[in-house]
Chains A and B, each alone.
Chain A
Amino acid sequence: MAEIRLEGVTKRFGRTAAVEDLSLTIADGEFLVLLGPTGAGKTTALRLVAGLERPDAGRIAIGGRDVTAEPPAARDVTFVFQQYSLYPHLSVYDNLAFPLRSPTRRVPEAEIETTVRELARLLQIEDKLKNRATQLSGGQMQRVAIGRALVRRPSVYLMDEPLSSLDAKLRADLRLELKRIQVDLGATILYVTHDQIEAMTLATRIGVIDRGRLVQVGSPREIYEQPVDTYVAQRLGQPAINLLPADLLPANRLAAGTRTVGARTEHIRVTPADGQARGRVKWVEHLGDQSHLHIALDGHSLVALVDPDTALERDAAVDITLADPLCFDAAGRRIG
């Protein structure tokens, strides 16, 4: 287990800067999740740490050792690729055993067998061990790929959207499982995703990345409650934060100079009103444990959360007030 330190790392492909001036330290035993949309540079950042790409500028250290110029094999990392990178002509068992069979670290075959079987049980692919890697469903392949990363005990684990191709149920299971494994092992994990739920549930800290630049790093709570700007604010929260002009709605407290307010559902108070009210319910989305209220208001629309047994219906008139919303200035930076 070791710490990862990135200092001013930049990687360009032609004229696009995939990663720009990235400085980030992932502490020993930390689960850091890089969160960003497709094309933000997440994969590139991971590949830089793994040594599959060489940075154009900057330094990378793992466990206090500068590895910037070292090949992947010397860095003692494992990598779960975004696409299932299995060895297609090998069985699932041999795929899982592959990293252990490195001639430089002779692991006894009996020990390999124990490790592989235990891991297969964990990932629910015990009955597939004899199959060829190509005879699996996408979800099973990805579990084997995850297993191949977990079978070793490297200094750091690197994972590139490992759960994105799994169905919802399995994703939820594996999310818990990954978190448990990380806590048990005290593993250092750098994990990349575009899924805010994965980021919120797995991360010790989240790094929000946008067009190659790290915008904010902090605990999930910090990122959620104190986003530095509207971009970060939009990345977390389900339903997404409502960004509205500052003077649209009455609020109990606004910082001086606020141009945009960010209203998450918990900042919004909805009260039924008479026909004169400005808000109109456009439709109600029933999700079982809660309901989303889509409201139209002076040409803007916003989403609020209400009890599942709400009496509000389509076209009902509502009054809306804001309680402690986030305040952003003209440039989108948060000022209160």
Chain B
Amino acid sequence: MSPPIIDRAAASTPPALARHIRGLSDRAIAWIFIAPTIVLLLAINIFPLIWTIRLSFTNFRANRTNAPVRDVGIDNYVSILTDPEVWQPMQATAHFVIWTILIQTVLGFSLAWAIDRKFRGHGFWTTVILVPMMLSPAVVGNFWRFLFQPQIGLFNYGISAVTGVPPSSFEMLGSVALAPWAIVIVDTWMWTPYVILICLAGLRSIPDYIYEAAEVDRASPWRQFWTITLPMALPFIMLAVLFRGIENFKMFDMVNLLTSGGPGSTTEVASITLKREAFEKWRTGYSSAFAIILFVTVFGLANIYVKALNRVKSR
């Protein structure tokens, strides 16, 4: 009979290596395992960040690497923060972030609540609801372009069926008034399931006996919702808001595919402006400064928010 597999594995380790490994302390072994990750993190996250900070104080242009690079101090920052045109992408971003979060949170939590109430076939519908999230943003962007087509788009026909206005009388992606809402609609379609998932986790974490106690204490369903369901699910809801907020602040792919920032610059969110400055106008130094400003903004907001979240959680 052959020896157990674990003994064979031990025996087949080269003696020199085995002795070597045995000589290492736990701490050393831990470092060996972490090292590749740290190196990778430094190489693809930390180093580019530091490099970007450095570039943001220069007039460097990535398409003219031979041109002399001049140190311009904080000029890039000054010109961004004093440029009235910069407020356009900031406003477009704020519109997009605020409305997607608001709609997705309300919708996501309500749907999660409905699913949690266990109606017939809820398992099947939970799966169906999650499908959009599994698609690639490129696919989603492209097929919503079709849905939004005034002549053949299903979306326009749907709206027309409900409201009676002719389907080709409005252009979701081509109109200055509607385009900002078109991207909100698509993002909501795609990411509400994600909010549902997180809220469901929150709702499922509330033990049944708390509701039973409330039931015996004669709390109405309304009061149960406000004094039990909502406060106890709140940390989860806030987490969903944080994830969606960070994600949408740097939204690029879907909006770029749907409208490329247009019409005009109505849907030009910050990351699209950034791409134009960096890879169309090749103002590398300037766009680096812009990226740093965005980064600091998101980082600052997220930090304030996480503090609030921790306060809610520790209650």
Interface residues, chain A, with chain B CB atoms under 8 Å away: 50, 52, 71-73, 77-79, 81, 83, 85-90, 98-99, 102-104, 132, 148
Q: Report yes or no: B219 in contact with A72, Cβ–Cβ below 8 A.
A: no
Chain A residues with CB below 8 A from B228, complex form: 87
Asked if B246 is at the interface of the complex by the 8 Å CB criterion, the answer is: no
Asked if B7 is at the interface of the complex by the 8 Å CB criterion, the answer is: no
Asked if B62 is at the interface of the complex by the 8 Å CB criterion, the answer is: no
Chain B residues with CB below 8 A from A90, complex form: 227
| Chain A nearest Cβ from B215, distance in angstroms | 5
Also in contact, A148 and B217, with CB within 8 A (given A81-B209, A87-B228) = yes
Q: Report yes or no: B219 in contact with A52, Cβ–Cβ below 8 A.
A: no
Also in contact, A87 and B220, with CB within 8 A (given A52-B215, A71-B215, A73-B215) = no
| Chain A nearest Cβ from B291, distance in angstroms | 40
Given A73-B218, A87-B214, 15 more pairs with CB closer than 8 A: A52-B212, A52-B215, A71-B215, A72-B215, A72-B216, A73-B215, A78-B216, A85-B207, A86-B213, A87-B210, A88-B210, A98-B214, A98-B219, A103-B223, A104-B220
Chain B residues with CB below 8 A from A52, complex form: 212, 215-216
Q: Say what secondary structure dominates the interface of chain B.
A: helix
Asked if B49 is at the interface of the complex by the 8 Å CB criterion, the answer is: no
Q: Report yes or no: B315 in contact with A102, Cβ–Cβ below 8 A.
A: no
Chain B residues with CB below 8 A from A99, complex form: 217-218
Residues of chain B at interface, number, CB under 8 A: 18
Chain A residues with CB below 8 A from B220, complex form: 102-104
How many inter-chain residue pairs (CB < 8 Å) link A and B?
Answer: 58
Contact of B213 among A85, A102, A103, A104 (CB under 8 A): A85
Asked if B264 is at the interface of the complex by the 8 Å CB criterion, the answer is: no
Interface residues, chain B, with chain A CB atoms under 8 Å away: 207, 209-210, 212-220, 223, 227-228, 231-232, 315
Complex CA gap A86/B232 in Å reads: 12
Chain A residues with CB below 8 A from B218, complex form: 72-73, 99, 102, 104
Complex CA gap A52/B227 in Å reads: 20
Q: Report yes or no: B227 in contact with A87, Cβ–Cβ below 8 A.
A: yes
| Chain A nearest Cβ from B280, distance in angstroms | 51
| Chain B nearest Cβ from A43, distance in angstroms | 11
Complex CA gap A12/B314 in Å reads: 41
Complex CA gap A77/B217 in Å reads: 8
What are 15 pairs between A and B in contact, CB < 8 Å?
A52-B215, A78-B217, A79-B213, A79-B216, A83-B209, A85-B207, A87-B214, A87-B228, A88-B210, A88-B232, A89-B231, A89-B315, A102-B217, A103-B223, A148-B213
Complex CA gap A35/B228 in Å reads: 33
Complex CA gap A99/B223 in Å reads: 12
Q: Report yes or no: B219 in contact with A102, Cβ–Cβ below 8 A.
A: yes
Complex CA gap A72/B228 in Å reads: 18
Complex CA gap A262/B248 in Å reads: 77
Chain A residues with CB below 8 A from B212, complex form: 52, 72, 79, 81, 85
Q: Which 5 pairs of residues, A with B, have the shortest CB-CB distance?
A: A85-B213, A99-B217, A73-B218, A85-B209, A79-B216
| Chain B nearest Cβ from A11, distance in angstroms | 16
Complex CA gap A96/B223 in Å reads: 16
Complex CA gap A51/B61 in Å reads: 75
Q: Report yes or no: B216 in contact with A73, Cβ–Cβ below 8 A.
A: yes
| Chain B nearest Cβ from A84, distance in angstroms | 9
Contact of B216 among A77, A83, A103, A104 (CB under 8 A): A77
Chain A residues with CB below 8 A from B232, complex form: 88-89
Q: Report yes or no: A132 in contact with B217, Cβ–Cβ below 8 A.
A: no
Chain B residues with CB below 8 A from A81, complex form: 209, 212-213
Q: Report yes or no: B216 in contact with A132, Cβ–Cβ below 8 A.
A: no
Complex CA gap A156/B223 in Å reads: 24
Complex CA gap A90/B213 in Å reads: 14
| Chain A nearest Cβ from B25, distance in angstroms | 39
| Chain B nearest Cβ from A8, distance in angstroms | 24
Look across to chain A and name the residue whose beta carbon is closest to the beta carbon of B223: A103
| Chain A nearest Cβ from B15, distance in angstroms | 54
Look across to chain B and name the residue whose beta carbon is closest to the beta carbon of A75: B216
Contact of B315 among A83, A104, A132 (CB under 8 A): A132
Complex CA gap A104/B214 in Å reads: 14
| Chain A nearest Cβ from B169, distance in angstroms | 50
Q: Report yes or no: B216 in contact with A50, Cβ–Cβ below 8 A.
A: yes
| Chain A nearest Cβ from B232, distance in angstroms | 6
Chain B residues with CB below 8 A from A132, complex form: 315
Complex CA gap A79/B213 in Å reads: 7
Chain A residues with CB below 8 A from B227, complex form: 87, 90, 98
Chain A residues with CB below 8 A from B219, complex form: 73, 98, 102
Chain B residues with CB below 8 A from A98, complex form: 214, 217, 219, 227
